[in-house]
Structure 1
């Protein structure tokens, strides 16, 4: 199971939100490039980046910060937030991102997801962000009636690289991830599922790994707060 350190970008800074609320942002660093380099130095194999402003604006907003990160690290990075057309997908991949994450358009324009996955094999993931099993879009501001599992199954034959599943009510709350829901999703589809939201302790990581079906876990606040030591966590997961 791959551990993805998260760098959430708001106004050019590294922050963590509480349950997706932009007004509940805690700033952890004003130098995203340095933060990314520190994660790489600790042994991270991947980075998970989110353009929070972009998710609300529907277009890239923190491009400078993302580019600063890409210039400082050699490990692959995936990015979500405000990526809603083919030109933006192409632009980000050309700048050196290894994977783009499509969330809102997975609901509003599923054909774009399929087209992008065909055009860029292995470089397109779908982000499914949910409250009580229903997908939320546009920076989690809009809740839909779409069930997570139904949407995930709709993309099984599209060639996407992964599904990032976030339980919004757990995100940033340090209360542990929704392991039953994440495991159920991972067992329901053949696409690799990455857990996000609430991963706050080594025990959380052990329990996710013990399912045997969850491909990755994203953690942010716990790494910044020191609740999870990145180097120790990576070593244990490797064992």
Structure 2
């Protein structure tokens, strides 16, 4: 399993939200690229980036800090937020991004996801964000009647690289991930699943690793910034079989 440190971008800064609420943002670093460099120096093999403003605007807003991160680090990075057309996908991949994460368009324009996955094999992931098992879109501001499993299964044959599954009620709350729901999703599809939302301790990582379903990795944000998870210990834990 990989550990994906999260760098959530709001107004050019690295922040963490509480349960997806843009009005409850804590700034952890005014220089997101420096934060990315610190994660890489500690041994991380991936970075998880989110353009929070972009998720609401529907178009990239924090392009400058993302570009700075890509210039100053040499590990692969994935980015979600405001990526809703093929031109934006092509733009980000041409700038060195390893993987784009498509969330809202996975619900509203699944044909775009399929086209992007065909055009850019291995570089398109789906972000499935949910409250109580129902998918939320547009920066988590709008809830749908679509279930997590139904949405995931609809892309089984599309060639997407991964599913990033976030339980919104756990995100930034330091209450632990929704392990049963994450394991159920991973067991229901053949697409690699990355757990997100609430990963706040080494015990959480151990539980995800032992959940009985094959997970590609886990995303953690606030716990790394607060020091609740020691990055070196977490990396060692996930690398050991």
Scaled to the shorter chain, the TM-score interval is over 0.9
Encode CA deviations 1:67-121: one digit per residue, 9 max, x unaligned.
0101110000000000000000000000000000000000000000000000000
CA distance in 2, matches of 1:147, 1:205: 25
Deviation at 1:58, TM superposition (A): 0.1
Across the aligned residues of Structure 1 and Structure 2, the Cα RMSD in angstroms comes to 0.5
Q: Counterpart in 2 of 1:133? A: 133
Q: Counterpart in 2 of 1:96? A: 96
Encode CA deviations 1:132-174: one digit per residue, 9 max, x unaligned.
0000000000000000000000001000000000000000000
CA distance in 2, matches of 1:157, 1:218: 25
TM-score in terms of structure 2 length:
0.99
2:164 matches 1:164: yes
Q: Counterpart in 2 of 1:217? A: 218
CA distance in 2, matches of 1:161, 1:238: 21
Deviation at 1:235, TM superposition (A): 1.1
Q: Counterpart in 2 of 1:14? A: 14
Q: Counterpart in 2 of 1:150? A: 150
Q: Counterpart in 1 of 2:195? A: 195
Deviation at 1:182, TM superposition (A): 0.3
Deviation at 1:238, TM superposition (A): 1.2
CA distance in 2, matches of 1:40, 1:32: 12
Deviation at 1:215, TM superposition (A): 1.4
Q: Counterpart in 1 of 2:35? A: 35
- Displacement over 2 Å in runs of 4+: none
Q: Counterpart in 1 of 2:185? A: 185
2:121 matches 1:121: yes
Q: Counterpart in 2 of 1:83? A: 83
Q: Counterpart in 2 of 1:110? A: 110
CA distance in 1, matches of 2:197, 2:237: 21
CA distance in 2, matches of 1:235, 1:188: 28
Name stretches of at least 5 consecutive residues in structure 1 with no aligned partner.
none
Work out the number of aligned pairs and report it: 239
Q: Counterpart in 2 of 1:237? A: 238
CA distance in 1, matches of 2:236, 2:150: 35
1:199 aligns to what SS in structure 2? coil
Deviation at 1:205, TM superposition (A): 0.3
Name stretches of at least 5 consecutive residues in structure 2 with no aligned partner.
none
Deviation at 1:227, TM superposition (A): 0.2
